[in-house]
Chains A and B, each alone.
Chain A
């Protein structure tokens, strides 16, 4: 069973702070996605990374795929209250027809 462990599980910070969320596995993924989910709503796709070592930026969010394609990180610069939500990473092994979702990181950004 492939597992994607995310850390930290919970994070409570003030607006303006920086943070990093980690997603780790012992499995190699052909691609990895990051989603954000707000309470009572479906996960929303933020980014897909496919190449080992790849870095993608989405405004204040920076995503990195590990060189070995087993891990990924999400860095948020100058967090805003609108960044509050559940962040999920999800890996695609390329051989199975399903994504493996991480355990999730719940982020709360306060004023």
Chain B
């Protein structure tokens, strides 16, 4: 059974702080990882993709992948109240199957 695990939260951080979201996966065969943001009542929105070990930065977001530890993380710098949402981690198996975690709810308070 391929699984992606996340802490459901909520993770509460003050405005301006760094939010750190974590994800582990069970299958070493997974090749690609994604972070989606989902606002309440809305559909998931792709915010980051990462395919190789190390860090990938895009604006205030940094994704980190460690395949040896089967660990993926997302850092959000200078967190804003508008970042409050559920963040879904997903791993890709083969090229056409995404497995999602349950998501971590992030709350950024002013």
A, B in one complex: no
| Residues on B facing A (Cβ under 8 Å) | none
